[in-house]
Amino acid sequence: MSEWPVGVFASVDAGLGVHLDVVQELGIPTIQLHAPHRDSRTQETADTFLANCVDAGITITCVFGGFEGESYADIATCVRTVGLVPEETRSARVQEMKEISDFARKLGCSAVGLHIGFIPEDSSSDRYRQLVDATRDLLDHVGANGQTLHLETGQETADHLLEFIRCVERDNLFINFDPANMILYGTGEPIDALKKVGRYVRSVHCKDALWAPEDQRGIAWGQEVPLGDGAVNIRRYLETLKELGYDGPLTIEREIPEDRQQQKHDIGQAVRLLESLRAEILG
Ligand code: MG
């Protein structure tokens, strides 16, 4: 794969990402895939989807897990419902994430990703230690499948995420960096955060956002906007990725599945923006 191939979030069936025919129509060579529901995670589904990707010259670079019961309605609801942090659902979700890792393997994909949730603040607490243990258990399974696990950024500050990765002490734990999430969740200036966690970044999202009003940051969402229209500074973002030696895919994420027409339009524009910046920056 050449340096910085453009990518987009796609789905096997209905879901947040775009359908494969849209990926093809836009001429995008790589995808990250939202894992389909359990019923669809079969060998047959994997074989068919992979064959369609191969025919279209599309490479699957990461499979993202998500869980029943997660809600991004507002930040407080996120804290209660997202990822492996909520204790009531943790063991079932670790099990499901292992199954998603197995499905990714069927697709020949060597990376899986997820929002782990809002990692507890106190690293000496039982809650934190138990989350570390659950993450190690998952990582051992993912590792046995020959895969890395990428934690989506946004729900923690860069320092907090780094501390967690160090505590887990596994060599297949990395980061999927999403600059817009740092703004949406109010967890830090994205370029500064990227520099801090850079050595762990193995995949990235190209997404843009506007900050919530200053007194609302971390309480109310910022606003996701088309790539280039937000506060990330996409040129600086790509320049920083270059400084860090990142050469993986640039995966566009535009989370407006309620308006497929607009989503496709915005993704098309994002492709052109990334291609022109890539030509300038990589020369
Ligand atoms: Mg993202």
Output the domain CATH number for residue 124. Answer: 3.20.20.150
CA 181 / ligand 1 centre spacing (Å): 7
What are the CA-CA distances from residue 214 to residues 109, 136, 182, 220, 250 (Å)? 40, 37, 14, 10, 29
Return d(Cα 68, Cα 225) in angstroms, integer: 26
Q: How far is the CA of 190 from the centre of ligand 1 (A)?
A: 13
List Cβ neighbours of 147 (8 Å cut-off, separation of 6 or more).
101, 104, 105, 109, 110, 111, 112, 172
User: In the 3-class helix/strand/coil scheme, how is 200-211 assigned residue by residue?
Assistant: HEEEEEECEEEC
Instruction: Tell me the CA distances in angstroms from 152 to 23, 27, 47, 49, one per residue in order.
Output: 22, 26, 27, 24
Q: Report the separation in Å between the CA atom of 229 and the middle of ligand 1, taken as the mean of its atom positions.
A: 17
Cα(39) to ligand 1 centroid in Å equals: 25
Q: Are 84 and 51 in contact (CB under 8 A)?
A: no
Residue at 150 is within a domain: yes
Could you tell me if residue 1 is inside a domain? no
Distance 99 CA to ligand 1 centre (A): 21
CB 177 within 8 A of CB 194: yes
How far, in Å, from the CA of 87 to the mean position of ligand 1? 23
**Phi-psi sector, 16: left (phi>0), alpha (psi -120 to 50), beta:** alpha
Kindly give the distance from the C-alpha atom of residue 134 to the centroid of ligand 1, in angstroms, as a whole number: 22
Q: In the numeric block, which tokens belong to residue 7? A: 């990518």
137 falls within a domain: yes
CA of 154 to the centre of ligand 1 (A): 8
Candidates 280, 279, 275, 137; CA nearest to 206 is 275
pLDDT tens sequence for the chain (283 residues): 689 999 999 999 766 789 999 999 999 999 999 999 999 999 999 999 999 999 999 999 999 999 999 999 999 999 999 999 999 999 999 999 999 999 999 999 999 999 999 999 999 999 999 999 999 999 999 999 999 999 999 999 999 999 999 999 999 999 999 999 999 999 999 999 999 999 999 999 999 999 999 999 999 999 999 999 999 999 999 999 999 999 999 999 998 888 999 999 999 999 999 999 999 999 8
Query: For residue 14, what pLDDT is reported?
Result: 65
Residue 1 has what pLDDT?
67
The count of structural domains within the chain is 1
Give the pLDDT score at 258: 87
253 alpha carbon – ligand 1 mean position (Å): 6
- If you measure from the C-alpha of residue 141 to the centroid of ligand 1, how many angstroms do you get, rounded to a whole number? 24
Question: 255 exposed, middle or buried (CB, 10 Å; 0-12, 13-18, 19+)?
Answer: middle
CA of 74 to the centre of ligand 1 (A): 16
Q: Which domain holds residue 234?
A: 6-282
Buried b (16+ CB within 10 A) or exposed e, 148-176: bbbbbbbbbbbebbbebbeebebebbbbb
Q: How far is the CA of 248 from the centre of ligand 1 (A)?
A: 15
Is 231 buried (19+), middle (13-18) or exposed (0-12) by CB count in 10 A?
middle
Which of 125-147 are b and which e, b meaning 16 or more Cβ less than 10 Å from the residue's Cβ? eeebeebbebbeebbebbbebeb
Q: Which tens digit of pLDDT belongs to each residue from 219-274?
A: 999 999 999 999 999 999 999 999 999 999 999 999 888 899 999 999 999 999 99
pLDDT score of 255: 87
**Residue 175 covered by a domain:** yes
Q: Say if 54 falls within a structural domain.
A: yes
Whether 171 maps to a domain, the answer reads yes
Tell me the one-letter amino acid at 189.
E
Q: What is the pTM of this model?
A: 0.97
- How close is the Cα of 8 to the center of ligand 1, in Å? 11
CB contact at 8 A, 94 and 138: yes
Task: Look at residue 159 in the predicted model and tell me its pLDDT.
Answer: 98
Ligand 1 mean position to 205 CA, how many Å? 5
Looking at residue 83, what is its pLDDT? 98
